[in-house]
Amino acid sequence: MDEEQKSILLKTSSRFPIPPGVKFSYGTAGFRADALVLESTVYRAGILAALRSIKTRSVIGLMITASHNKISDNGVKIADPSGGMLTQAWEPFADALANATDSDCLLQLIIEFAKEESILIDGHCRAEVLLGRDTRPSGESLLEAAKQGINSIVGSAAIDMGILTTPQLHWMVRARNKGMKASERDYFEQLSSSFRCLMNLVPGECKVKGTDYKLVVDGANGVGGEKLECLMNMLDGLVIEVRNTGKGGGILNEGVGADYVQKEKVVPQEFGSNDIGMRCASLDGDADRLVYFIVPSVSSNNIMLVDGDKMLSLFALFIKEQLSILYKGVDENNPYQARFGVVQTAYANGASTDFLKELGLEVVLTPTGVKFLHEKAVEYDIGIYFEANGHGTILFSDSFLCWLEKRQNELSSMSEGSEPQKAALRLLAVSKLVNQAVGDAFSGLLLAEAILQTLSWSINQWSELYQDLPSRQLKVKVMDRTAVVTANAETVVVKPPGIQEAINAETVKYPRGRSFIRPSGTEDVIRVYAEASTQEGADSLAHSVGKLVEQFLE
């Protein structure tokens, strides 16, 4: 690193002193905090993104959002060349960068890391970072801080893509690095054309027209509502009414959005008695989560929730069916058998896991966090992961897609319009419709709608795939959450000694009982999850396990 580069870093970083008494940690959500204390962190994230671009010789993304958090919060996350999340290997550097106490410490940290990673910072290695932000008022000033961070590395270019959903930015990064067109218009066109292909393959007797197939969407008063209205203009075969777009004075994520609906299980604002029996869906603040719901009656504010577990189950059922059709009679000449797997966390409802296993699917668990789910799903030819909160996607391996393209062409030449050929076309369309970089509420919504029409199912039939086991989640405040150490995808406690045996002893008292504990990643609490055959049993089991946590950690 030459003296000019050192001087630029010292000068620009002095404008962004770190706030006193705040410690930042890069997690699944990137850095996230009250927007008032984030400027220095976002500036430093800009530096990190530029270094990552130089290291990988690829386009990198930087998204400013706090997703489902309250409007006064904000955050920043990095998208890697694949469009996925920042590699976990760089997270310790991200933490150190954000918490470096002054400009001199920051400079020394960068010099040492660049040497360790063989990153040449001399102005000749180019870096390119795509920037996006959601609709939060704090986003504009934080975007400027990110630009200054990126531009402080000589030879770097910060490209402002404007106000976007988080999945749009991740998609753009992936597309750019694959040599594809990567504008917002290109994103919308890929989604709409793939959806159109799936709808064209819906059997004639299953097709529903016009307002008979209306979907009402809660936009969380965020960027998703605004962008969905743009996408709607390019869709055929689906009528969407978007509410809570943010234009009517509603507050981002306040009484609205997928996180609120999924956790509280009540109707969001602007929904009520006029929506009884309607198919409804809810996005989160940056449109990377999606849940469906039904307003069942006038007398209650509660909803019938169709969460991420049931989205995963619908998608898995559909894909398994298409694979079965595709493979009929092709084993001898086309031995390629896709390895199809489903990835969940311990928070997935036990009934969903049972349902998926009964379908004959391979189901594996990972620790909580999308980065762990995505990492595991990549190992399959077709890997589906979803969390109950509605964040997830479907990944297809390049080798399987190459075989699928070849097989579709063979089927087309042999028997145009045959069921195996249609199955191949459906799977190819799904691979283009889903966002293979990250969970995407828009692609998930369009895929769900196309599948429901293909199966000629109502949302009630979807909801009745299986009956969720009653569950309860609790938080127990502790002095030191690191005292709890887990293994086996957080389902078993290895420290403190004896607590797992005590949890097992409580769990066996309840029919279909299941319980686990895990330390929070952000606060000094231990999270308790419990399931049982009745809500009373789940509540009682959670309470008992919570008492065990207090007892063993006092």
Q: Tens digit of pLDDT for each residue in 4-59?
A: 999 999 999 999 999 999 999 998 889 999 999 999 999 999 999 999 999 999 99
The H-or-E segment that residue 63 falls in is strand 59-64
Query: What pLDDT is attached to residue 337?
Result: 84
What does the alpha-carbon distance between residue 296 and residue 304 come to, in Å, rounded to a whole number? Answer: 7
Q: What percent of the chain has pLDDT over 70?
A: 97
Per the annotation, the verdict on 152 as an active-site residue is no
Is 440 annotated to bind a ligand? Reply is no
> Max CA-CA distance within the chain?
72
3-181 and 187-306 share one fold: yes
Residues 253-294: pLDDT tens digits? 999 999 999 989 999 999 998 899 999 999 999 999 999 999
For the chain, the residue count is: 554
Give the sheet arrangement for strand 290-294, strand by strand: 239-243, 214-218, 279-283, 290-294, 304-306
pLDDT at 368 over 50: yes
Higher pLDDT, 484 or 125: 484
Query: What pLDDT is attached to residue 210?
Result: 47
Tokens of 215: 């979907």
pTM: 0.94
Is 480 annotated to bind a ligand? Reply is no
Handedness of CA 66, 517, 303, 358 (dihedral sign): positive
Is 218 annotated to bind a ligand? Reply is no
Helix then strand then coil, % of the chain, to nearest 5: 45, 20, 35
Is 522 annotated to bind a ligand? Reply is yes
CB contact at 8 A, 246 and 135: yes
CB contact at 8 A, 282 and 261: yes
Fold classification of 471-553 is: TATA-Binding Protein (3.30.310)
Instruction: Give the active site residue among 40, 67, 194, 431.
Output: 67
Across the range 78-105, mean pLDDT stands at 96
Is 67 annotated to bind a ligand? Reply is yes
Q: Where are the alpha helices (DSSP H) in 201-288?
A: 223-232, 258-264
Fold classification of 187-306 is: Alpha-D-Glucose-1,6-Bisphosphate; Chain A, domain 3 (3.40.120)
Is 518 annotated to bind a ligand? Reply is yes
Across the range 85-91, mean pLDDT stands at 95
Is 2 annotated to bind a ligand? Reply is no
Residues contacting 391, CB < 8 A, separation 6+: 288, 289, 308, 370, 439
Fold classification of 3-181 is: Alpha-D-Glucose-1,6-Bisphosphate; Chain A, domain 3 (3.40.120)
Question: Domain extents for the chain?
Answer: 3-181, 187-306, 309-445, 471-553
Is 308 annotated to bind a ligand? Reply is no
